[in-house]
Amino acid sequence: MSHFLVSAAYYMQGIILVYFLAINSTYTLLILFALKDIVQNSYLSTSRGARRLLTSDSYYKPVSIIVPAYNESAVISDCIRSLLNLHYPEFEIIVVNDGSSDETIARLKEDFKLGAYLKPVRRQIPHAPIKNIYISGDYPNLIIIDKETGGKADAINAGINVSSYPIFCSLDADSLLEPDAILKSSKPFIENDEVIATGGIVRVLNGCLVKDGAVLEAELPKKTLEAIQVLEYARAFLSGRTGWNLINSLLIISGAFGVFRKDMVVAVNGYRKTVGEDMDLVMRLHRHCLDNKIPYKIFFVPDPVCWTQVPFTLAMLRKQRNRWHRGLLDSLLANRSMILNPKYGAVSLLGVSYFLFVEVLGPIIELLGYILIPVFYFMGLLDSKFVLLLIAMSLLWGISINISAIFLDTYNFRRYKKQKDVLRLCLMSVVDFLGYRQITLYERVRACFYFKGTQWDTQKRQSQ
Amino acid sequence: MRLTSSPHFYACLYIAVGLLAAFNIFEIVFMLFHKNRLDKSEIEKELLKHRISTAIITVTDPSEVLPKPVNAMNYAAYNEAVSSIIESFEGEIVERATKLIYKFEIDLYYKRLSRTTIWFKRAHAIDMLSSLKLKKNREFFYAVFKSEPVKEVRYRILYGLSRLARDREDIYSISKLLATLPYLTAKYTEDVFLNTITALKNAGKEEEFGFFLKQIMTNSGIPLKIKRDCLSACYLAGCERDGLIVKEYYNAFQNEPAIIIACIRTLANVDPGILPEVLHHKDWRVRLTALKYAHLGGTDLLHDLKDLVHDSNYHIRLNAALALSKLGDAGLEILRGETASTDKFAANAAKYALTGAEAAS
Amino acid sequence: MAKILIVDDDDTILLIFRTHLSKAGHLVETAVDGVDALEKTSSFKPDLILLDINMPRMSGFEVVKNLKENAETKDIPIFIMTSLKQDANIKRAYELGINEYITKPINIEHLKLRIDKFLGKTCS
C-alpha cells in the first residue's frame, strides 16, 4: 500500500512540476510576443496618426459610448462630464440607468436639464423594458435611458438599441477615459474593414491625481493591496492580452473599456445575461465569424487608456475575483463548442485552451501543490534540497515575469514618472508571491465550487 | 526519486536558480536605465524642436544656427517640427523649412531607413517621409512601391504619393496602383483622393480632378469601389464645378447603387431634379441617401415623402419624416396629420420629427 | 501695438505665431486648449483672438460660444484658423459670430497684413 502511495506521490509531483513549467513558459512566451507587438506599435502608431482623425472633416466614424449604471449616483455626473470632454469629432453618450434604487435619475435630471427623447427605438436585441428615455437640453449628444433592472449585459443591450452610430464603446460608470482613448481605439475600424472589436488598456485609478475628470499624474497608490493590483493589471493587459494579437485569438476585451462594431454585436444577439458578459461576447463573436467564414480581426490596442477604481479592501477584492472567475467558467461552459475544436483553429486550440488549462485548472493544481508538497516532504518522500530549489525557481521565474510586465509598460508608455514608483512596483513583484497571489488563487478555486448566477456587485465608492 | 537522485539534475536546478536571480537583477537595472534615457531623450527632443521652429522663423538660413542631426531622436525632432510647419503654413517659412530638410539630408536618412529588413520600421520611415510633403520624393515613392513586398507599407506609400499629386496623370497612376492592392476601407481610399484634391488646390489646378474623373469613368481597370470613393472625395472637398461630370456618372451607372449614392450627395445641391427619381429607386440605401437631401427638392416631393413615412424600413421612415420637417409649413402640416395615423411606426417617426423642428424654431 | 491671444494645441504652431507676431510689435499670449483660452482671455484681455477648432477639452466652437455669451468678452474679434474646410463648419462658425475664417495652410505674412488691416479698421 505504501508503494502505491509512493508512486502516486511521484506522479503528483510530476504533474505539478510539468504544470508549473508549462504555465510559466506560456507566460514567458506571451511576454515575448507582447514585446514584439509593443515595439511594432511604437513605430506604427504615433499621436500624429491619431490626430489625422481630428483634422479631417470625415476621416472618422461616429461612436456611441454606452455607460451602464446601477446605483452610481455618486460618480455618474463626474463620469459624464469627463466624457463630454472627449477629444473626438462626433460621438454620443448613452447612460443606461438599470433600475437604480438610489437618486441616479433625479441627480441627472438636475445636472443636465433632461427632456424627453422621442426618436423611435429599434428593438434589435432583447432586454428588460425601458421606462423612459431622456436627452439633455444642454448637451444634445447626451442620452439617458431609464429602464427596469436587468443586469449589466441587459443594460448595454438597451444602449445598443438606442444608439445611432455604427460603433459603440462599453464603459463602466466608475471609469475615466483618457481624452484621446476613443480616437486611438476607433482608428483601427477606419483603417480596416475587418476589425470588429478592439480593447484598450485598463489602468488603476487609485492613487492618481485627478482634476476636472482627467488624470493629471499617474502615481502608485500608497496601500500595498492597491499597488499590487497596478502590477497585476500591467501583467494581465500588457503580457496577457497583447500576446494574443499575433494569432488573432484575443478572448477577453475588458468590460470596463471595449469598442465594438454594432452590426456584428447585433448579429450575435448582443450581450448575454451572465456574469462574465465581456468574455462571453468576444467568444461568440469569434465563433460567429469563424462559423460563417467572415474575415475578421479582434485585437488589443495598448495605447488608449481607461482608468478604473480597483478594490481597496480584501473583502471587496475577494468578491471581485470570485465574480470574475465565475464569469470565466460560465463563458467557457456556454461556449464549450470552442474547447479543443480544430474547426476554430488557433482561437480554440491555443486561446481557449490557455484559459481552460492555465486559468481554470492552473489554480487548482497550484493549490494542490501548496498542500501536497509540504505533505510529501513531511512524509519523507521529498528531498528538502529539491523542495527549496523548486520553490526558489518558481519564485524567481514568477518574479521575472512580473518585472518583464513592468518593463513592457515602461518601454513605451512610461506613465509612472517617478523612479521611486517603478522601484516600488518591482518590490510588489516579490510581495505578489508572499500572500496576494495565494489569496486570489484560493478565491478562484472557491469560485469553482460556488458557481452560480448573475448579480450586480455593489462596490463601496472611494471618494477622490 | 530516480530523477531527483541524479547529481546532474541538481546542478541544472542550481544553475537555473542562479540564472533567474541574475536575470531579475539585470532586468531591473536595465529598465531603470532605459527609462531614464528615454525621459532625457524626450526632453531633448522637445528642446530641439523649439530651437528648430524658432530658427526657421527668425533666420533666413536656419541651417547656419542649428546643429546637424546625429541620432534617431534628432532626426525625429527635425521631421516633426518641419511637418507641423508644412501642414499648417505656406509661403516663405515653408521654403526655409524645406531647404533645411535638404541641407541636413533628413530625407536621405529616412529614405535609407525605408530599406531596412523590418517592415514596420520601413512603414515608419515612409510615414515620416510622407509628412514632409517633399515634391522631389515622388519618383522615390513610385520606385519603393514597386519593390515593396509588404502591403501594409504599400498603403502608406500610396498615401504619401497622394499628397504630392501634380496632375491627372499622377492621380491616374495612384488609382491604378490602388487597384492592385486589396481594398482596405472606404475612408482610406477617400482620404487618399482627398489628399490629391488638396494638393491640386494648393497648386491652383483643381480642375485636374474633374478631368481625372472623366478619364476613369469608362475604365474597367479601376474597380467600382474606387470610382465611388473618388466621387465621395469630390463631394467632401466641395468640388461643385465637377457637377457635370458627376451627372455623367449618374447617367452611366444606373445599375450600380453604390455609385448612385455617391452621386446624389453632389447632385442634390446642383441638380435637384434627380431627387424624384432616386426617391423611388429599388435599392433602399439609395432611397435613404436621397431622403437625406430631399429637403432640397422643394414642395414637389411632399407627396412622395408622405408615402415614405409609411415605409417598412425604420431608417426610411425616420428620414422621410425629418425631410418633411425641413420643408416649411406644408411639410409640418403633413407631419401633424401623420401623428394621428393608425400606423404606429409612422406616427412615432412623425412625432419625433415634429418635436425636432419645433425645438429648432 | 495690439494684444493678441493665439490658441492651438500644437506647440510648433504656437511658437511660429508667437515669434512672428511679436517681431511685428504685437504683445502675444498663447493658450493650448479651450479651457486655457477662456482663462487667458479674462486675464490677458486681448484685442484679437486667433483660434483653432480641433483642441482637447473644449473645441473652438465651444470657446466662441462661451466668449460670445459673456458680456465682457463678446466684442473681442475672433479669427478662426483651422484645417477643416467643409461648408457646414464655415457656416456654423460665422453664425456663432466670428470675424474671419482662415483655412490652413496659412501664409503667415498675409495673415500679419490682414491682422494689421483689421486692427487698423477697428482702432480708427
Query: Helix/strand/coil (H, E, C) string of C54-67?
Result: CCCCCCHHHHHHHH
d(CA C124, nearest CA chain B) in Å: 30
Which residue matches cell numbers 510647419?
B85
pLDDT at B355: 85
Q: Is B13 close to A10, i.e. CB distance below 8 A?
A: no
The candidate with the shortest Cα–Cα distance to A457, out of A189, A202, A275, A192, is A275
> In this structure, are residues A234 and A406 in contact, taking their beta carbons and an 8 Å threshold?
yes
For testing the chain C interface, which of B45, B47, B84, B89 should be mutated: the one with the most C CBs within 10 Å? Answer: B89
pLDDT at A463: 31
pLDDT for A114 beyond 70: yes
- Give the C-alpha separation, A425 to B27, whole Å: 13
Residue C37 lies in domain: 3-123
pLDDT at A49: 67
Q: Please state whether beta strands A142-147 and A91-98 pair in parallel, antiparallel, or not at all (unpaired).
A: parallel
Does A85 lie at the interface with C, CB-CB under 8 angstroms?
Answer: yes
- Residue A237 grid cell: 493587459
Long-range contacts, B109-116 (Cβ 8 Å, 24+): B109/B69, B109/B75, B110/B75, B110/B79, B111/B140, B114/B144
Nearest by CB to residue C84, choosing from A57, A87, A212, is A57
Q: Is B35 close to A422, i.e. CB distance below 8 A?
A: yes
The candidate with the shortest Cα–Cα distance to C90, out of C82, B233, C69, is C82
| The dihedral formed by the CA atoms of A265, A267, A270 and A273, expressed in degrees to the nearest 10 | -130
pLDDT at A50: 67
pLDDT at B342: 85
Residues of C in contact with B238 (CB under 8 A): 85-87
pLDDT for A317 beyond 70: yes
Q: Neighbouring chains of A at 3+ CB pairs within 8 Å?
A: B, C
Please count the CA atoms within 13 angstroms of the CA of B305 that sit on its side-chain side: 34
pLDDT at A48: 63
Does C58 lie at the interface with A, CB-CB under 8 angstroms?
Answer: yes
Confidence of residue A172 (pLDDT cuts 50, 70, 90): very high
pLDDT at A456: 38
The candidate with the shortest Cα–Cα distance to B162, out of B76, B229, B245, is B229
pLDDT at A14: 80
Q: Is C85 close to A87, i.e. CB distance below 8 A?
A: no
- Give the C-alpha separation, A189 to B106, whole Å: 33
pLDDT at A452: 55
Residue C51 β-bridge partners: C7, C80
pLDDT at C123: 53
Number of domains in chain C: 1
Q: Please state the pTM of the whole predicted model.
A: 0.90
Nearest by CB to residue B4, choosing from A43, A191, A386, is A386
Q: At how many degrees (to 10) do helices A76-84 and A104-112 cross?
A: 40
| Residue C91: count of CB within 10 angstroms of its CB | 11
Residues of C in contact with B88 (CB under 8 A): 10, 13, 83, 104-106
d(CA B93, nearest CA chain C) in Å: 8
Confidence of residue A464 (pLDDT cuts 50, 70, 90): very low
Q: Is A54 close to C89, i.e. CB distance below 8 A?
A: no
Residue of C nearest to A51 (CA): C54
d(CA C104, nearest CA chain A) in Å: 10
The candidate with the shortest Cα–Cα distance to C37, out of C68, C79, C67, is C67
The domain that contains C44 carries what CATH number? 3.40.50.2300
Residues of C in contact with B93 (CB under 8 A): 16, 108
> In this structure, are residues A199 and A250 in contact, taking their beta carbons and an 8 Å threshold?
yes
Give the model confidence (pLDDT) of A224-233 as tens digits: 999 999 999 9
Q: Which position has the higher pLDDT, B108 or A56?
A: B108
pLDDT at A326: 92
pLDDT for A295 beyond 50: yes
Give the model confidence (pLDDT) of A118-168 as tens digits: 888 888 999 999 999 999 988 889 999 999 999 999 999 999 999 999 999
How many Cβ contacts (< 8 angstroms) between chains A and B?
Answer: 108
Give the type of residue at B265. Answer: R
Give the model confidence (pLDDT) of A203-248 as tens digits: 999 989 888 778 888 899 999 999 999 999 988 888 778 888 888 8
Confidence of residue C54 (pLDDT cuts 50, 70, 90): confident
Confidence of residue A459 (pLDDT cuts 50, 70, 90): very low
Question: Average pLDDT, whole number, for chain A?
Answer: 87
- Give the C-alpha separation, B101 to A453, whole Å: 64
Q: Is B184 close to A404, i.e. CB distance below 8 A?
A: no
Residue of A nearest to B232 (CA): A58
Does B93 lie at the interface with C, CB-CB under 8 angstroms?
Answer: yes
d(CA C12, nearest CA chain B) in Å: 6
pLDDT for C122 beyond 70: no
Residues of A in contact with B27 (CB under 8 A): 400, 403-404, 407
Q: Which position has the higher pLDDT, A289 or C11?
A: A289
Residues of B in contact with A406 (CB under 8 A): 31
- Give the C-alpha separation, A77 to A291, whole Å: 42
Proportion of chain A above pLDDT 90, given as a percent: 46
* Residue stretches of chain B with pLDDT short of 70: 1-6, 361
Listed range (A9-13, A139-143, B174-178, C75-79) with the worst mean pLDDT? A9-13
pLDDT at A47: 61
A 320-349 near C (Cβ less than 8 A): none
pLDDT at C124: 41
